[in-house]
Structure 1
Amino acid sequence: MSRAPFSTKTLRTTQARAIPGVGQAFPQRFTQSQFTQKRTFKTVEEAKSRYSIGPFSLKAGILFLVTCGGLVWYFEFEKQRMQRKRIAEANKGAGKPLVGGPFELLDQHGNRFTHEELKGRYSLVYFGFTHCPDICPEELDKMAEMLDIVYEKRPNSLTPVFVTCDPARDGPKELKEYLAEFHPKLVGLTGTYDQVKAMCKAYRVYFSTPSNVKPGQDYLVDHSVYFYLMDPDGDFVEALGRQHSPTAGAEIILNHMKDWRGQKKF
C-alpha cells in the first residue's frame, strides 16, 4: 500500500502546531480579560456590597445588636418595676395597711410629732434604743450612708426616723445627744411606754424589756431589726433588712421613688 507523499505544506503545519505559544496567545489574552472583568466593580453600589455579608451590611448588624440590647434592658427594667409595684401594693393590704398607722410621740427637741409629719415625702423608720451595744450603732451608720446616697441624687427626699423601744431611759435629751453622732437629719422619737408600744404594734415591731428591773440597773431590749420604708401617703412600701448594704438599700429606695406617681416632687 503506497503512502501519500509527505509534502512541505504538511511539514510547515506540523511545525507550526509544535511551536510553543502558537495558537495559544488568543486564549491566554481572553482568559486574562475575563479575570480582570471579574475583579472590576462597575457601580458604587457593587463596590459597597464588598462590605456586606449576604443581605446584611456591617451598619445593619451594629444597629441590630444595639436594638436587641435596648429591648433586653427595657424588659428587665419593666420587670423590676412591676415587681416593686406588686410588693408595694401587697404591703398596703386591703383596707387597713399591714404596717404603719397613726401615732403621737415627741421628737428629740421635745416637740409633738405625729404620723402626719411623715406625709409628703418618703420616710425610713427604724426602731432601737440608745443603750444598744452593737446592732443599733451599726444600723444607724448604715442608715446615714443610705441617706447620703439618696440625697446625692434626690436632696431632702427622705426623712430618717429613729424610734426608741426604751422610753424609760431614752427621753428627748438622750435621743438628741445620741443621734447627733450619726446624721444631722435624723429624727428621734420617744414618749410614754404605752405610746411607744402602740406605734411598735402598728409597725409590727417586736420588742421586749426584762421584767422587775431595779432603778439604775442596766439591761438590754430585744427588738426587730428592720428599716421600714414608707411612701409620701404614709403607706408601707418595703422592709430593708441587715442583708442589704447601704448601696443596695439606697438603690431600692431610689427605685421606689422613681415609681411614685408624684415623682416630680422627688
Structure 2
Amino acid sequence: MNRFAMTYLANRTLSVRRARRQPLRTLLLALGLTAALGLGACQQQPSDAPPLEGAALGGPFTLVDKNGKTVTWDSFKGHWRAVYFGYTFCPDACPLDVQELMRGFALFKKEHPEAAAKVQPIFISIDPARDTPEVVDQWTGAFGPDLMGLTGTPEQVKQAADAFAVYFKRGEETEGGYLMDHSRIVYLMDPDGKPIAMLPVDKGKEAVAAELARWVK
C-alpha cells in the first residue's frame, strides 16, 4: 500500500462523527491500524498498482439482509464491492458519505453500465442494537435500490468490522439517543474479495465515479 493510501486512511480513520479532539487511545488505535494495513508500504509500487494491494482487509463474515436472510462475504464472490460501515441514526457523516458514494456510483453506472452491473455497494451497520433489518432497509432505500444494507448480532458486526480494520465505539448520549464514533472509509474490493482502493467520497461524486472507472473493468 503506497504512502498516499496510508495518509488517506489515517485521515479518514480519525474523521469520526464528531469534530472534536480524540482521546490518546483512539489516536493510537488509528495509527496502529494504519501501520498494520501498510505492510510493505515502504516498497515502491508501480503507479498503476492498486493502492491497497496486499493489505490485510476483508474476509469471512455472516450478516443478514433486509429480509433477515443470511449473507456471507462469499455471497458476493464474482462481484466488485464498495463497502462502508456506518449507522442509520448518524446525523451527519454517514448520510453524506453514502450519498456521495451512491451519486458517484450512479454517474459511473450512467457512463459504464456494463461495468457497473458488476459492482455491489454495501452498507454495514455498526449499531445492531437499533439497526434492525427493517430500519436498515428503510435507510438504505433512501439512497436508491442499488445499495444493499446489512446488519447482524453484535458479535457478527464486530467480526465484519474487524475484518476491515474498522474502528467503532459507542459515543456520547444526546437528547435524540447515543452517537457512535467510527471510521469513515469506503473500501473497493475486487471480485475475489481482495482490497483495491478507497473510494474518495470526501471529494465528490465525480471523484468516486472516476476511481470506479479506473479499476472496474
Q: What is the TM-score with the length of structure 2 in the denominator?
A: 0.72
Bigger relative contact order (CA 8 A; separation at least 6): 2
Tell me which structure has the larger Cα radius of gyration: 1
Q: Say yes or no: does 1:202 pair with 2:163.
A: yes
CA RMSD of aligned residues (A): 2.1
Q: Could you tell me which of 175, 188, 203 is aligned with 2:149?
A: 188
Unaligned runs of 5+ in 2: 1-44
Asked whether the equivalents of residues 162 and 188 of structure 1 are also in contact (C-alpha less than 8 Å), the reply is yes
Q: Which amino acid aligns with 1:113?
A: V
**Counterpart for residue 125 of structure 2:** 164
**Counterpart for residue 98 of structure 2:** 140
- Give the SS at the match of 1:85: coil
- Percentage identity across aligned positions? 36
Change (3 A) 1:251 1:169: same
Determine the C-alpha separation between the residues in 2 that align with 1:125 and 1:103.
Answer: 13
Q: Could you tell me which of 149, 158, 161 is aligned with 2:107?
A: 149
Q: Say yes or no: does 1:85 pair with 2:23.
A: no
Determine the C-alpha separation between the residues in 1 that align with 2:116 and 2:162.
Answer: 31
Determine the C-alpha separation between the residues in 2 that align with 1:167 and 1:232.
Answer: 27
Change (3 A) 1:147 1:201: same
Task: Answer 1 or 2: which has greater helix percent.
Answer: 1
**5 Å matches for 1:41-120?**
82-91=46-55, 98-120=56-78
Asked whether the equivalents of residues 106 and 172 of structure 1 are also in contact (C-alpha less than 8 Å), the reply is yes
Determine the C-alpha separation between the residues in 1 that align with 2:133 and 2:50.
Answer: 38
Unaligned runs of 5+ in 1: 1-80, 92-97, 259-266
Deviations 1:148-205 (A, max 9, x none): 1221213412100000010000010101111111111111111100110111011010
- Give the SS at the match of 1:123: strand
- Give the SS at the match of 2:107: helix
Asked whether the equivalents of residues 50 and 197 of structure 2 are also in contact (C-alpha less than 8 Å), the reply is no
Deviations 1:65-123 (A, max 9, x none): xxxxxxxxxxxxxxxx94232524343xxxxxx11000000011211100012211211
- Give the SS at the match of 1:84: coil
Determine the C-alpha separation between the residues in 2 that align with 1:148 and 1:217.
Answer: 32
Aligned length: 169
Determine the C-alpha separation between the residues in 2 that align with 1:251 and 1:140.
Answer: 16
Asked whether the equivalents of residues 225 and 241 of structure 1 are also in contact (C-alpha less than 8 Å), the reply is no
**5 Å matches for 1:217-236?**
218-236=177-195
Asked whether the equivalents of residues 225 and 242 of structure 1 are also in contact (C-alpha less than 8 Å), the reply is no
Determine the C-alpha separation between the residues in 2 that align with 1:86 and 1:203.
Answer: 17
- Give the SS at the match of 2:85: strand
